[in-house]
Structure 1
Amino acid sequence: MNTQNDEPRDLETGMEAPRQQRSSWPTFLFITFVLFMLTNGRGEDASVTRDQYVNGLQSLSFQLSNFSAWLNGTASNFSLPVEDPNTSPLVNAFLEFGSELDPNQGSYYTNLTGFWHGDLDFHNLTSLNSSEAASNWRHLSEQFLLTTNLSAIPDLLGPWNFTRSNKVTLSVGDKLIAVKQNDTEHERIAMIHGKIDLSEPDDSEELRLDFEGIHVLSTGTIYAMAESAGSGIDLRSLPAIVPEKFRNDSARAVEIELAARLSKLRERVEGGAFDQESLDTDDSPKTKCSFKLFAQLERTGVPKELMDELEKEIDEPTGITTVKTPELALDAVLLSQNCGMLLEMKHVVGVQSQRLYRKITTYSGFATLVHLVLLALFRRQAAHSSSAIGLSRVSRYTFLIQSLIDAISFIGHITLGILAEGRPSLSVLAPAGLACLLFVYEAQMAVLIGQIQAPEDAPAPRPSPPPPAPVAAPAQAQATVNSAVTDDGSAPAVPTQTTQPVPAPPLAPPTVPMRPSFWQFLWTHIRTDPAARLWTLLSISLIVVFRIVIALSLPLFFVGTLYTFMWMMQIYRSARRSRSSGLSAEYLVGTTLGRLFFVCYFLGCPKNILDVEPRRWIYGVGLFMFFQVLVILLQERLGPAFFLPKGLSRTQTYDYHPPMPLPDPEAPDQSLGDCAICMDAILVDPTLRRRSKSSDGKERPVIARATGILGKVGSAKKTYSLAPCHHLFHTACLERWLEIKNICPQCRRPLPPL
């Protein structure tokens, strides 16, 4: 029997045997399905988007023309709204507005573009608690709510719970406006815009508000209006909330800003560069409350001249030495008259965009080095475990979990690069690319391990049923006479019996096999092909990561779970199979440190680039990971099941060297038979002979069991190995065979470890 026809290589020559190429269309199908789930869109009509842009262009042009006419004192449909006089006293009770500073004694930051975060205190002006009722601003709140319709507040509040909001995050863009006055230009006003995110302590949901405002540079004060995302803010109303001293400059700045936005929108319409996401609005906003934002920057002790030099160096680094960068912070009040609430922000700390981008570049350098180390460790371990024996020791789920972690890392770095823009986005592409490469390698490793370990749990083939008995042909003779002949040769008086011809059974019409549907074929392929099952599991996991985890803002719990069970599956497999993992200490410790670098930075460092609040439980995850590494290393020294009770740690392993009877001593060929791999005789080692008594009391020579010193060289191996399917091999031949496949070369049944 030729056993080498469908094996990957010949054991004698070591040459690769030709393999039948497997169809790649199932893999292409899975990839197409995943890409469809990740990239399907709503498919809006481009003409609708263009109409929306054109309508917005006409509306903005109408607003600008009316506002410019109002500023010039000509006929206009616009009139500046009147601010409630009770607003300013109430705000002053919580916030102390700044004044112009002596330029030699102190200064304010002028560029506020960046990201801010701080704490939030909620005050319900319609229902004051005992301490608020005794405060000096109680009567101010009562006067402020005189024009408020209290019965409409529940409908305006919406589903968002403002009482539980305790964190605030701001994304700010600050644009300096040069206002011309008396034929001279001066820069005292900046247009500020951005987003305000309110969050709850135990909820991943956020309330997002868009704001537009005025930044007075000389006093470090901000006056802005905020609405729910997509509601729209009329910039022309901003001068109404600015003090009279800065109202004219603010109105001119608003006019310049409206003209700039109109020009930019016109270029988009003419160039056809439409952004559908910018037009999408939330059909059901979480709140309908309107807010006014009043903020005051904290003054710095840096003189104005040195502060200007510092901010110029931050925007355009030249390497010069400047003063130590002071903290960028502000206090603010978010006030809503129609909803009767006040949100107080204390010491909101900000990071300017340029400083954040340089911080991102530094992080990208360290992340690239860590990914390179992880890639090098993986390649060394993959080369060490490249044989079938090595792949049968490791757990596929260990590499599958790591591939999911790298997929999350890839998506996270790509998203960070998109948000960062400019040069920092290019630096983030390096760790993103390495994370993608690691994901591909580890996924391929998991698939390969699954293919090698698939025969372990495969059921034994059932014996084929016996073939049906053939149908006898119909008798062609008319009758046969069965009679007994008497002594005189006469026929008996009993009438003869004739056998009637048996009609042949009708032939069944040929059945045409029904062609399975696509889904039936796909399901059958997934059930029967281990690689297809693993790719399906990986695809579903990626869809969960991209579509559910990120969409619901639950990546922290998901990532923590992946890290917790990364080495657990390897411990379980080693204990179950009673075999060590084969993972080197270098790979275990290095990979654990590399993986923990990212989660400890984002969940342990209070000043990380994503401004994620530290979670103390991440240190417990790190300690548990190192505990798992310690257990795997001890499994190499003390045994795979050293931590289990004796009753559970006893694993039945197959003995390839059972005692076997010796051949006849007088036979010319003293062998146990021929090896099923090399076809040579398996000669008997005379040093392993011993005598044993059979049931009839006679002594018969058998091959004795060889033993060795445990812990040093292991048990001495015999020259023969008997498989569970009763096929006999040379031990050396079977070892070389099992390095390629773990199935019997004759009957193709799975073989246990040798």
Structure 2
Amino acid sequence: MDTQPLQQVPRSQEFAGRLLFVIILFLFLNGPGNQAPAGAGFPSARDYAQERITRSRQQLDVLNRTRWQDFAPKGYDTPGYEPGRYVNLTGFRDQDDYNWRRLGPWKERCDEFSKASRKEWVKGEEEKNGPGFVGQVYNNITGVVVGEWVRYEKDLGLKDQLTRHLNLTEISPHTDWAFTNEKFWTRNITGQEGKLLLRIDEKDVEELDLGDTSVGKRNAAWVREVGATMTIQDETSSGDGWEMRVHGVHWPRTGVVLMTTTSDKFAGVFGLPHLATNAGYYTSSQKLLNMTLEKTVERMEKAVWIDPSNPWTSSPDSQGDAMMPTPHCEFLVYAQVHPVVYPSISPRGENSLGRQKYIGEIEQELRFPNGAPIPPAPELKMSTVIFSPDCGFILESKGPPDFSHADGEHLVGLKQEVWLNDIEYWLLVFAVVMSAQILLLKAQSKEASTPSTVGRVSLYTVTMMLAGDAFLFVTLSFISTLAPNLFPSSLIAAFAALMSIALGIRFVGAVYNVQEPERRERLRLQLAAEEARRPPRLTVSPAEAARAAIARVVAERDGTAVATSGISAVPNQPSSITSPGLVGGAEAPRTQAEIPIIIPSDQDIDAEIEENRAAAPASTAPLLPITNTPANVQTQTPATSSFGALYVKSVMAFTFLLFVSASASSWSKPWRSAYIHLLSLTYLSFWVPQIRRNVIRNCRKALLWRFIIGQSILRLLPFAYFYLREDNFLFADPDWKAFCVYAGWVWIQVWMLVAQEILGPRWGIPKGWTEEGWDYHPILREDNVEAGGLPIGLVQVPNSPTLQRTDSGSSEDRKKKEGTVMSLDCAICMQNLEVPVVAAGEDAAGATGVAGMLARRQYMVTPCRHMFHSQCLEGWMRFRLQCPICRENLPPL
């Protein structure tokens, strides 16, 4: 029957059908009938966004109507009869019961930090002819600064340290909080000191001159918008600390920055002008926020159907304030940028660029580089005071005047452009390090190019190095994806890591395939040992089954009642199961050899036996089931896994380790540090498997020394950068003690490899722990001649066919004896070889010393008693593990 082929749907029609299905599914899921009804208790993210827009409009209106000093809450020094003044903003109301009593001390502390900075400024202006002078502040403070913080409690009494109880239902009735118990609030800093990091991102807009030129307010009239990501660490925090996003304003002429968090229970950005320290800052910040917040609210209204996110969220990585937010402590951040310390001045006391243009020229070249000759950019430095109005604590950066310069320098860091350039530079350095690792691995792969040399290399040593390169490749890939500014350099470093991984996988595959017979033999011996430990089970051999079949056939034909039980135990045991027979009119046990086989005289015995033997497996059922014996186990070949299966298992294990490492970033600091130290020590133990394999195989040297030393140094370099360099780009705390432990552990492993090559691979290990291996460098003694201890060619051993072959072409001139030195010709290089021999009856103590050990390293003796130069035989054994003379198999070197 003829069949017509099915018509294939064109790709354009197939794509159109899929697109139509996606559109119908989208309309179905977002249709009016699929949304939760109003008041059902299931509001959508769009409903939350609409409520947020409404509240933002109301709060913006309050900001426009209020004036300076409208918000003046009661403080510690406010008389009891005088009421406080509050504004109708969430968190700024009297009924919210925030701890605004500490607002006054916080502002005073902010003024103290600013005055201390101005004193340094004036002092630097006066010391024009000194080693350096202090100039203007940075106009754009986009960058990263890090330092130590301490808790400030000088303004508190005992009654002021009581815990406050806030009612979130009254403060923010429109929000469905995840929980309301203050004990579970996040970002609650309870420690006394810790680490603080600020990543400031200033808006790329021109500074606004609001036209206020009155005395004392001219600098405060210049203002711009700013945002930052703040990370605070203490002993109670998890991961890298409490991380939050703050928004605010920056006065570039004075270097003052005022920022705050914003959430459903605190309208921080709308009440920020009321937190300023003077009227000038209040006026300029109010005018700026009126313009910027109005534009932001308008954008929110236009994009409510597309983007319902919160533009002022304090969660840096997620929109945690959208639905069912988690309550947390709010923060007010006051930062004072310190004047720039000029690195060098001319003899006249003026910089080559000019004092007024110094900062401007540097910032212009950093943002828009055109090759202008500028000195290195000075570091970015600032001090800060942080106040939490709901949780009631005050934190400040650690530094002068309360602390000495040795204890802390407040917050010190780099401009963003300098920081990114530093990261790019070190990423390129890491790429060079990875390239050097590739060259060393290539040289080692070329050296281990034969089955004999590849078999010496430990599979786990190369695998551990490969895992480290894979981890670095994944990290650099994420950096190149998430940080566009670092894309070129991170891509180069990731490509170098990928090349190292590719070459490492190839080398691991070669090592795995060469060592496959070794694993099969080990598995075979393991199965044989397990079978030998089992209790003995009875079996029936084929010969016994044939004899029983013959007896059964004869008994059936002649009617003779003869039992034909041919049973034997496992090997090395006599037949213990007997068959009953008629002896003296009574049944007596008979062994297998005594079982009678009655055959008529007219039958061909041999033909009958062969016929029944051939038919026994098919026609005869044994009395007991046949089982595998140890002999059968030795003949079967156990199955082993392929390299593909090992590769999949390794990838799965590495993926699991990667997920654990990622989750470890959220652990508390002690547990995270312990995990990092354990993981680092495990990774830096890559020579331990090679040391173990040298002991098992009795191998003195498996790897090139330049590979061992080079890999040890190169893989310690990243640890040296992060553990020894104070201004590393991750701002990690230096820990020279931990690095000394890492370097010392690698140094110990290298010296163990050195000792294995010089003193022997099993040096220092008890003999009972390993099997006895062949010593290629034995002590030669004359009194071992009769025992056959000396190699062939040095002495004549009677009845030796090898000696007969050797003596046929030798003469007395080739064998000479001068005291304790004998000689012969090496069969590989055909050069003379002189070896020390201990005379008969003499003590061999001299041969066991360092000099004797180095002398024994010049020759090698095989188990077949042939002698060669060490270099000659080692070069031969790189290609073939057979004696060059008699072709007898040699143990691995």
TM-score in terms of structure 1 length: 0.67
1:535 paired residue among 647, 652, 655 = 647
Post-superposition shift, 1:589? 1.4
**Residues 221 and 295 in structure 1, CA contact (< 8 A), matched pair in contact too:** yes
Match of 1:42 in 2: none
Whether 1:113 and 2:146 are equivalent positions in the alignment is no
Structure 1 residues 753, 643: CA separation in 2 closer, same or farther (over 3 Å shift)? same
Q: Is the 8 A contact 1:600 1:618 kept in 2?
A: yes
2:382 counterpart of 1:382? no
The separation in 2 between residues aligned to 1:395 and 1:360, in whole angstroms, is 35
Match of 2:720 among 594, 600, 618: 600
Partner of 1:410: 473
SS for the counterpart of 1:651 is: coil
Q: 1:211 aligns with which of 246, 254, 257?
A: 246
Partner of 2:104: 88
1:397 aligns with 2:460: yes
Amino acid at match of 1:221: V
Q: Which residue of 2 is the match for residue 521 of structure 1?
A: none
- In the alignment, structure 2 segments of 5+ residues that lack a partner are 1-27, 36-42, 67-86, 94-99, 126-133, 168-179, 311-315, 343-354, 399-409, 533-538, 562-598, 600-618, 623-637, 666-671, 777-786, 790-798, 811-826, 828-832, 836-855, 868-873
Residues 540 and 604 of structure 1, relative CA distance in 2, 3 Å threshold: farther
State the Cα distance separating 1:414 from its structure 2 match.
Answer: 2.6
Counterpart of 2:657 (choices 542, 545, 548) is: 545
Cα distance change on mapping 1:753 and 1:306 into 2, 3 Å: closer
CA contact (8 A) 2:470 2:498 kept: yes
Structure 1 residue 234, shift from structure 2 partner: 5.2
Change (3 A) 1:94 1:547: same
User: Quick check: 1:224–1:292 contact (8 Å CA) kept in 2?
Assistant: yes
- Name 1:431's counterpart in structure 2: 493
d(CA) in 1 for partners of 2:211, 2:876: 99
| Pair 277,96 (structure 1): closer, same or farther in 2 beyond 3 Å | closer
Which of 384, 401, 407 is 1:332 aligned to? 384
The 5-angstrom pairing of residues 650-689 of structure 1 reads 651-653=772-774, 684-686=805-807
Alignment match of 2:331 (pick from 291, 297, 300):
291
Is residue 194 of structure 2 the alignment partner of residue 166 of structure 1? yes
Q: Secondary structure at the match of 1:556?
A: helix
Letter in 2 for 1:459: R
2-side partners of 1:46 and 1:352: how far apart?
48
Alpha-carbon separation, structure 1, partners of 2:415 and 2:864: 73
TM alignment of 1:217-616, pairs within 5 A: 217-226=252-261, 235-242=269-276, 243-258=278-293, 261=296, 278-279=318-319, 288-300=328-340, 303-322=355-374, 325-346=377-398, 347-422=410-485, 424-456=486-518, 457-460=522-525, 468=542, 469=545, 472=549, 480=558, 528-529=640-641, 531=643, 534-535=646-647, 537-553=649-665, 554=672, 556-616=676-736
Q: 1:736 to 1:224 in 2, by over 3 A?
A: closer
The CA distance in 2 between the partners of 1:269 and 1:285, in whole Å, is: 19
C-alpha separation in 1, matches of 2:497 and 2:44: 40
| Deviates further, 607-616 or 217-226 | 217-226
Q: Does 1:623 align with 2:651?
A: no
CA distance in 2, matches of 1:478, 1:306: 121
Partner amino acid, structure 2, of 1:317? P
Q: Tell whether the 8 Å contact from 2:63 to 2:271 is kept in structure 1 after alignment.
A: no
What is the CA-CA distance between 1:330 and the residue it aligns to? 1.5
Tell me the secondary structure at the aligned position of residue 198 of structure 1: strand
The code of the aligned residue for 2:475 comes to G
Q: Which secondary structure does the structure 1 equivalent of 2:524 belong to? A: coil
Preserved contact between residue 212 and residue 233 of structure 1 (Cα < 8 Å): no
Range 597-606 or range 194-203, more displaced: 194-203
- Indicate how the Cα distance of structure 1 residues 158 and 89 shifts in structure 2: closer, same or farther if over 3 A, else same: closer
Q: Which whole-Å CA distance do the structure 1 matches of 2:259 and 2:364 have between them?
A: 26
Q: Is the 8 A contact 1:95 1:332 kept in 2?
A: no
Give the residue type in structure 2 aligned to 1:310: I
- State the distance in 1 between where 2:45 and 2:54 align: 14
What per-residue deviation string (whole Å, max 9, x for no partner) do you get for residues 674-730 of structure 1? xxxxxxxx99545699xxxxxxxxxxxxxxxx9984322312685999xxxxxxxxx
Aligned mates of 1:439, 1:273 — CA distance in 2: 44
Q: TM-score, normalised by structure 2?
A: 0.57
CA distance in 2, matches of 1:443, 1:188: 60
Query: CA separation in 1, counterparts of 2:858 and 2:163?
Result: 91
Whichever of the two has the greater Rg, that structure is 2
> Does structure 2 retain, via aligned residues, the 8 Å contact 1:394–1:581?
no
Identity %: 19
Distance 2:447 2:265 in 1: 60
Bigger shift: residues 330-339 or 645-654: 645-654
**Conserved 8 A contact 1:390-1:582:** yes
Q: What residue identity is the alignment partner of 2:280? A: K
Change (3 A) 1:733 1:597: closer
Paired residue type of 1:116: V
What displacement does 1:168 show? 1.4
Could you say if the C-alpha distance between residues 227 and 630 of structure 1 is closer, same or farther in structure 2, counting changes exceeding 3 Å? farther
Cα deviation code 1:428-474 (max 9, x no counterpart):
11111211222333244334323333433232486998765368499
Q: How many Å apart are 1:479 and its aligned residue?
A: 5.8
Question: Residue 96 of structure 1: CA displacement?
Answer: 1.8
**1:712 paired to 2:887:** no
* In structure 1, distance between residues paired with 2:187 and 2:46: 34
* Structure 2 CA distance for partners of 1:365 and 1:147, relative to 1, 3 Å: closer
Query: Offset of 1:232 from its aligned partner?
Result: 8.4
Distance of aligned partners of 1:421 and 1:114 in 2 relative to their CA distance in 1, 3 Å threshold: farther
Query: Are the equivalent residues in 1 in contact too, given 2:458–2:693 (CA < 8 A)?
Result: yes
Which secondary structure does the structure 1 equivalent of 2:653 belong to?
A: helix
Counterpart-to-counterpart distance in 2, 1:307 and 1:715: 77
Aligned pair count reads 613
Matches within 5 A, 1:21-32: none
Indicate if the aligned counterparts of 1:334 and 1:343 stay in contact, CA closer than 8 A. Answer: yes
CA displacement, residues 38-60 of structure 1 (integer Å, 9 cap, x when unaligned): xxxxxxx99799x9775576456
* Structure 1 unpaired stretches of 5+: 1-44, 126-131, 484-498, 508-525, 661-669, 674-681, 690-705, 722-730
Q: 1:157 and 1:249, CA in 2 relative to 1: closer, same or farther beyond 3 A?
A: same
1:351 Cα shift? 1.7
Q: In structure 2, how many angstroms separate the alpha carbons of the residues matched to 1:447 and 1:263?
A: 62
CA contact (8 A) 1:549 1:558 kept: no
**1:60-209 aligned within 5 A:** 61-62=53-54, 65-66=57-58, 84=100, 87-93=103-109, 96-98=112-114, 106-123=135-152, 132=154, 137-138=155-156, 148-149=164-165, 155=183, 157=185, 162-163=190-191, 165-175=193-203, 177-178=205-206, 179=208, 181=210, 188-200=222-234, 204=239, 206-209=241-244
> Partner amino acid for 1:235?
V
Q: What's the C-alpha RMSD, in Å, of the aligned pairs? A: 5.5
Q: Which has the higher contact order (CA 8 A, sep 6+)?
A: 1
Amino acid at match of 1:584: L
State the Cα distance separating 1:159 from its structure 2 match: 9.0
C-alpha distance in structure 2 between counterparts of 1:91 and 1:538, whole Å: 58
